[in-house]
Amino acid sequence: MSSTPQASWRLHVATGGTDMAGATGFADRALDLAMAVVEAPINAVERLIGKRRMPYLFLAPNLVLFGIFTFLPIAIAVGYAFTGGTELLISNRPFVGLDNFRTLLSCESYLVPGSCEESLFWTAIWNTLWFVGFNVAATLLVALVTALILDRAIAARGFFRAMFFYPVLLSPVVIGLIWKWFLDRNGLLNAFLQMLGVPPEIFLLEVGWSRFFVVVVSVWFHMGFYTLILLAGLQAIPKDLYEAAAIDAATPSRTLLRITLPLLGPNLIVVLVLLMIKSVQIFDEAWVLTNGGGPGTANTFLVQYIYQMAFAGDLRLYGLASAASVLMGLVLLVLTLVQLRLGKKAES
């Protein structure tokens, strides 16, 4: 057990009496040492400023980091959007007013990216919109069906829930590579198709198929997360409602339409908005899967456009990239506000 009475008291508090002692002896002593080094100066500060002001000290590291790496960038982003050139320091950048926004938004027809001054931006916007549409619909449908099934008293429920959730934890790069290999000319899918007598296809070099599989991979990646949220919502529905429906001899489809879905409604809307916010930001797995947005620009999305303008190659068009970020930020802000509003409604 632990070496000192004090340490054992602490362990007792930490683990509610059922401690896992033994191995903690060394960690304990290391922590005590760290504590001794850190505590003395902090206590000196406490004597200096008084107990009442200590919370400010505790908040300081967090607020300083937020200030430098979150709030400062937001302020700069807006400033950047109104400057041009390829300089990194904002003081060296010429002020260009609304030029960046004009470049992004001048189009003969918004439906035809080729007619726009910045055609890649509009290609990316349309690709993103199509992706968001299909991805939100497919993920929501798959997650809802899975959640409804997992809500039933079905055998091995925990196992299946865990299985569907597993991809959520994987890295987007890993997922991109695994699927790239699965869809390869010599991959498993083509081997399976050959068994059925279908000629092999290089899926990721074909516009339609590559777009289709970007959605498939995205659903595969994220559906477990949304299933979990919907499942939590389903399990919060009072069970006596279902008992009452059973007494009234309601059919299963009627129970679903009249009880389950209406009561799940607020959760569904929250998931829907959350899905839209995440889908608009598609980048990592699509970038790896499609070799940077290919074939051509068939899978070039908005975040990739921003990344390319600012960081890839020698473009360094920070102003244009920031202007595009600001536009995307506004869309996301609206979606987030909608989500907060609906989330509040769901709670009440």
Partner 1 sequence: MHGTFSAIGFLTRTRRPGRIDMTDILSWLWLVGGTLAVLIPVIWAGLSSLKPEAEITRFPPTLLPRAAVQVEVQGFDKPLSLWNATVDGEAREMAMVRRIGLKAQMVDPKYPGKPVSVDTRSISPVQRLTVATENYTDPLTRFNFLTFLKNSVFVTFVATLLTLIVNALAAFALSKYRFRGDTAIFVLIISTLMIPLTVVMVPAYLVVVGVGLVDNLWGVIIPTVASPTGVFLLRQYMLTIPDELIEAARVDAASEFRIFWRIVLPLTAPALAVLAIFSVLWRWNDFLWPLIVLSSRENFTLQVGLNAFQGEFSVQWHYILAMTFLSLVPVTLVFLFLQRYITTGIAGTGMK
Least distance to partner 1, CB of residue 282, Å: 10
Query: Where in 274-313 is the site for partner 1 (CB under 8 A)?
Result: 274, 277, 281, 283-284, 288, 291, 303, 306-307, 310-311
Neighbour count for residue 98 (Cβ, 10 Å)? 11
Residues 212-251 that bind partner 1 (CB under 8 A): 220, 225, 228-229, 231-232
At its nearest, how many Å lie between partner 1 and the CB of residue 65? 4
What's the CA gap between 23 and 27, in Å, rounded?
8
Cα–Cα distance measured from residue 230 to residue 146, given in angstroms and rounded to the nearest whole number:
9
Shortest distance in whole angstroms from residue 299 CB to partner 1: 16
**Least gap, CB of 177 to partner 1 (angstroms):** 5
- CB half-sphere exposure, 78, CA atoms < 13 A: 5
Give the nearest distance from C-beta 214 to partner 1 in angstroms. Answer: 15
Give the footprint of partner 1 on residues 101-160 (CB under 8 A): 145-146, 149-150, 152-156, 160
**22-41: which residues touch partner 1 (CB under 8 A)?**
35, 38-39
Q: Which is nearer to partner 1, 10 or 258 (CB)?
A: 10
Give yes or no for a contact between 162 and 173, defined as CB atoms under 8 angstroms apart: no
Please, which residue, 116 or 274, has the CB nearer to partner 1?
Answer: 274
Q: Contact with partner 1 (CB under 8 A): which of 30, 112, 141, 163?
A: 163
CB of 49 to partner 1, least distance (A): 11
CB of 114 to partner 1, least distance (A): 26
Residues 323-342 that bind partner 1 (CB under 8 A): 325-326, 328-329, 332-333, 336
259 lies in the binding site for partner 1 (CB under 8 A): no
Helix, coil or strand: residue 83: strand
Per DSSP, the residues of 196-237 read: TTPPP--GGGSHHHHHHHHHHHHHHHHHHHHHHHHHHHHHTS
Rg (CA), the chain: 27
Closer CB to partner 1, residue 52 or residue 239? 52
Q: Which residues contact 117 (CB under 8 A, 6 or more apart)?
A: 103, 106, 107
CB 106 → partner 1: shortest distance, Å?
Answer: 22
Q: How many residues interact with partner 1 (rule CB under 8 A)?
A: 106
Would you state the structure tokens that stand for residue 12, as one six-digit string? 């007792």
Q: Which of 4, 106, 115, 194 binds partner 1 (CB under 8 A)?
A: 194
Q: How far apart are the first and last CA of the chain?
A: 49
| C-alpha–C-alpha distance, residues 159 and 157, integer Å | 5
Residue 111: HSE in the Cβ half-sphere, 13 Å Cα cutoff: 0
Binding mask 164-193 toward partner 1 (x if CB under 8 A, else -) reads xxxxxxxxxxx--xxxxxx-xxxxx-xx--
How far is Cα 348 from Cα 342, in angstroms, rounded to an integer? Answer: 10
